[in-house]
Structures are given as C-alpha cells and as structure tokens.
Amino acid sequence: MSAAPSFVHGTSATPLLYLTMGELLANAVRAHGAREALVVRHQNIRWSYQTLDQHVDALAAGLLALGLVRGERIGIWSPNNAEWVVTQFAAARAGLVLVNINPAYRLSELEYALNKVACVALVTASSFKSSDYLTMLRTLAPELSTAAPGALVAAKLPHLRVVIAIDPAQHAGMFRYADVPALAQDGDYAALRALAPLLQPDDPANIQFTSGTTGMPKGATLTHFNIVNNGFFVGAAMGFTAHDRLCIPVPLYHCFGMVMGVLTCVAHGATMVFPSAAFEPLAVLETVAEEQCTGLHGVPTMFIAELDHPEFARFDLRSLRTGIMAGAPCPVEVMKRVLRDMHMGGVTIAYGMTETSPVSFQSGLDDPIDRRVSTIGRVHPHVQVKIVDGDGRTVPRGEKGELCTRGYSVMLSYWDEPERTQESIDDAGWMHTGDLAVLDEEGYCNIVGRVKDMIIRGGENVYPREVEEFLHRHPKIQDVSVFGVPDPRLGEQVSAWIQLRAGETATAAEIQGFCQGQIAHYKIPHHVRFVDAFPMTVTGKIQKFVMRAELIDELGLTDVRSA
C-alpha cells in the first residue's frame, strides 16, 4: 500500500470568527471590562480593558479629525509601548490600514516603505537605540520645518501629510501624540460610530513588510479576518483564558508581537505585559517574576539569553506554564532547558510566516514532550497544508518537500505587486513558503531548512538545521548557525559560526572531532568560526546571508550560487 500524501487539514468544532479588530476589542470590554488588559512596565502603565478601549476610541476619533479617510494607510515606527497598542486598534476602528515599519529601518528603507504603500500618516517615536527617527524624517522631508502640522507637502514623501510624534516635546510640522485625541469633536465621534457597521472583516487591516535576501521588501497585506482568527487560535492552542498574563518581549511591528501577543490576549481577555521597549533578558526575568506571568513568548535566541543570564537563578519563574517559541528553528537542547528551568511545561512551538497571518502549525499542550521538542506540532484549525516536490506534486508522508499553506490565514496579496503575489500564491490558492518540511504519519511536521538554504556538497544534500541540532549538544556551544559557501571542487562546503558559552574556549579541530563518527562526514563543518554574536534582524532572526557573504569575502571565494 502506498504512503498517504503529505496533506493535512486542521478541523475544529470552533468556527472562525467573523469580526473586525474593533469588534474583537469591544467583545473583550463587554466580557472583561474591569480586568487588567495592558501593563507596560517601562512606562508605568496599567490599564483595564475599559481604559484601553477609551484610549483607542479617543485616538480613532482624533485620526478622523485629522482628515484621515477609510482605506488610507497609517504607518507606525516605534519600539514597544502603549501608544503602539492603542494605535493598532485605533487605526482599525477608523478603517485605516496600519503599516508596521521596522524600528531598525534607516533612511532609504523608511522612504521605500512609506512610498510603497502611500502612507498618508505616520505615528513615530522620537528615537530608538542608535536611530534618531525625527532627524531621519527631517532629512527625508525638510519641508517639515515650515509645514503646518497635518499639511506636509514633501518632495521625497509625496503621500505623507500627517506626522504624529510620540514625544512630550513639540516638533515643527508634527502633532504631539498626546494632543491628537483632543482634536476630536462630537462630530468625529459620531462619524466613528457611523463607520463601525461599514467596516468588514475581509477589509485590509495591516501591511507588514517581509524582507528577503534579494529584492526589495514586499508588503504583505493582511485582513482583520486573517489576524483576528490567527490570534484567537494561537491562544486556544495554549489554553488561554482571562486569567492568563502574557509577557511580550518580541517586537510589536512583527506578527509575533502584534498578532500572537496582542490579538491573542484580547481574543481571550488575557493581560498583555510588556517588559521593556526592546528585548532585555533581565527585564523579561524581572517582569515574569514580579507580574506573575503565566506565558512568555520569544525566539530561541531570546530564551537562550534569558537562560544564560548571570542572575537567572535568583528569579522565581514558577508562575509560567505556557508560551510560544517561534521565529526560528528551536534547538532541542534549548527547548529541554526551557521546560525544566523555566517551568514552561506547556510551552508550544509555533511555525508560520507573515504572509499566513502568521501561524499555520503549533504544538499542543497535550503533545508528548518528544514531539514538542522535535517538531513544530500539527496543523492549525481551519488551515490546509501540503508538501510538494520541485514539480509541484504532493510527496508521500515522510518525504521532504516545500511546505504550502491554504486557508483563511493566507494574505490578500503583496501590496501593489500582482506579479510577486502570483509567484507566491498559485492559482489554487496555495501559499508557497520556501521552507523544506517533512510531514509524518500522525500529522506532525518538521522544518528541515529553506529551499534556498539547503547545502549541496558533492551531490549530497545537507540540511543546516540537522547539523545545528547536533552541534547544540556540545557542552561548550551556546548557539550555532550553519550555512554553505562555494567550493571549487565540491560545489558547496559546510560552514559553522559558533557562539561559545561565557568563559569557554574551543578550536575548529575540537568541534570537527566532536562530529566525527556521530554525523555523516559530508555534514561536518569544514569552515568553523567562533564569534561573539550573529548578525540578526530586530526580531532575533539570524541573517545567514550576511554571514555567508562575510565568509565568502574572508576566504576570497567566488559566489557562483544563484540568488
């Protein structure tokens, strides 16, 4: 008998929610109005759902008072804070499309993002880390110095009219965020109420830029329906209730913070707890202990930083029970430490991509430990997945292929890019993820690499994830990233960048010796570099293409691999 095809469909007795984000918040207020909704420790903010809703309504009415019109795009460029969360829901209530702008963006990236989707308004922090946002904005739009607030006409940013600064100081050409709600008159609140029944769950609500190793970022356009439902079912997989308190150190500009953090909490009446403006491991540990958080989100590098913090042992983390590790493959050894040392017996692994709102696989609370540490779980409710070969044919269970996703969670499109949309979403509605995966007989899935990350060494396929998992067993290794570089004889050669634990030293020969007899010879890293840190995105994803380019340059190699 032939093996079953690699196709799964998540069934559920719980129907999809046909709600806008504004309606989702309104439901939470009705059910949990007096409960704590938002805690932002670095701003000393503690708001109930009722208070959060009042701030949202006031800002939404203020945005209408500024002349913003349903369907227009409003950008937000800021680290994590209360204003981000309020803007997220206020934009939705006002019928605007929120555009998440990476806090790490610099001049050319900001200019591209604002112009690509024709942002008419921008809510911006004054600065973040080494980025002086207001100076960058004035560089792109020197017209701000003489413009009346709300009446910007800028040559380089032709669509942008309104700039709102999250800053107590007054800046030329900009509104102060705190002043916008007061601009609303009774008519603006009436207009807001009249708008509510016109807004539809299938309307675009959010644009998130997805970056690749080649080409300009694409604006994944997500609907209320996409992200409201994904937030709800992510929480359901964790057994979330109104009694849960989720520590959210991941950035709001990313789906991990905005959907799997904020919308997951609001969908279940839980409390959102933000430890700091940007990830700080000590702030996370303090927040979990002092706020008695029951859930914690993070990418593997965040959990590693928390576990390895010198003060880790002094924090009581026994309130934790669940959370999500996602955003990058989780090393098995790290997962075991999270289960044991952070008391997160109900931690889940989630997998997805921005274009799928984002989660399509998640492990369950009742999954065996070995499944939770070695797979990404099973398909989410109401989502379909298949694994295909290079010709687009569905492969049998147990065989590697590209993971494709279909269902409610697939984005509308890449904003104003029909050709790139068609390259990713086929005629049958399947989103091609670019990830290599294996689906087993019980429906558990394992990601084994990126289609383009796979190393072909002398005709042998090497999957970096497999080598990384093995190297994580070495007691001196804190983190590792494996990738391929060109080789004149073998086509490609295996390379590893390794971050050692504090105080440890090692040699390339020692690492290679550790691999001898344990993994196939062709998988053993030929090039080994010891580094203090990896190049990363602001979300904590390791940028292998940066490391690859650096090593190619260092070794004087020629990159013959196509993009």
Is 385 part of a structural domain of the chain? no
| DSSP code for 279 | -
The whole-number pLDDT of residue 538 equals 67
pLDDT tier for residue 213 given thresholds of 50, 70 and 90: very low
The residue out of 210, 225, 253 marking a domain boundary is: 210
Residue 287 CA to its chain's centroid (Å): 21
Judged by phi (left if over 0) then psi (alpha if -120 to 50, else beta), residue 227 lies in alpha
Per the CB < 8 A criterion, the answer to whether 113 and 99 are in contact is yes
Between vectors from CA 155 to CA 154 and to CA 161, what angle results, nearest 5°?
25
Residue 512 corresponds to which amino acid? Q
* Residue 241 pLDDT greater than 90, yes or no: yes
Say which CATH number the domain at 152 has.
3.40.50.980
- Could you give the C-alpha distances from 104 to 130, 131, 257, 298, 364, in angstroms and in order? 9, 7, 16, 18, 33
Judge whether 394 lies within some domain. Answer: no
Q: Which domain holds residue 70?
A: 21-210
- Give the pLDDT of residue 108: 82
Any domain includes 168: yes
Which residue carries 């209730």 as its tokens? Answer: 241
Closest CA to 447 of 401, 488, 509, 484: 401
Omega of the bond prior to 358 within 30 degrees of 0, cis? yes
Q: Are 415 and 401 in contact (CB under 8 A)?
A: no
- Answer yes or no: is 249 within a domain: no
Place of tokens 């687009």: 392
330 pLDDT above the threshold of 80: no
pTM, two decimal places: 0.85
Taking only the tens place, the pLDDT of each residue in 139-189 is 999 999 999 999 999 999 999 999 999 999 999 999 999 999 999 999 999
The 10s digit of each residue's pLDDT in 497-525 is 999 999 999 999 999 999 988 887 888 99
Q: Is residue 250 part of a domain?
A: no
Instruction: Name, in order, each residue with C-beta under 8 angstroms of 507's C-beta and a sequence gap of 6 or more.
Output: none
CB 474 within 8 A of CB 514: yes
Q: Which of 29-43, 200-214, 425-439 shows the lowest per-residue confidence on average (mean pLDDT)? A: 200-214
Instruction: Give the integer Cα–Cα distance in Å for 490 and 12.
Output: 49
> Per residue in 542-563, is it b (16+ CB within 10 Å) or e — as a string?
bebbebbeebbeeeebeeeeee
DSSP sequence for 342-379 = S--TEEEEEEE-GGGSSEEEE--TTS-HHHHHHS--EE
Residue 196 lies inside a defined structural domain of this protein: yes
- Residue 289 — φ and ψ, nearest 5°? -70, -45
Rounded Cα distance between 293 and 4, Å, is 42
Residue 503 domain flag: yes
| pLDDT for the residue 80 | 98
The total of structural domains in the chain comes to 2
CATH code of the domain covering residue 484: 3.30.300.30
pLDDT range class, residue 23, cuts 50, 70, 90: very high
Instruction: Summarize the confidence of residues 73-85 as an average pLDDT.
Output: 98
**Mean per-residue pLDDT, 191-210:** 97
Q: In the structure encoding, which two tokens stand for residue 463, read together?
A: 């999957």
pLDDT at 560: 44
Percent of the chain with pLDDT strictly greater than 90? 81
Q: Which residues pair with 324 in a beta bridge?
A: 297, 348
Among the candidates 189, 210, 231, a domain finishes at 210
What is the average pLDDT value for the chain, to the nearest integer? 93
pLDDT at 446 over 60: yes
- Residue 152 to residue 122: CA distance in whole angstroms: 11
Confidence of residue 1 (pLDDT cuts 50, 70, 90): low
What average pLDDT score do residues 353-381 get?
Answer: 92
Exposure class string for 496-509: b at 16+ Cβ within 10 A, else e:
bbbbbeeeeebeee
State both tokens at 398.
Answer: 């147990």
At 212 the pLDDT is: 47
* Sequence-distant (≥ 6) Cβ neighbours of residue 44 within 8 angstroms: none
For 245-301, the pLDDT digits (tens) are 999 999 999 999 999 999 999 999 999 999 999 999 999 999 999 999 999 999 888
In a domain, 409, yes or no: no
Domain-ending residue, one of 187, 210, 233? 210
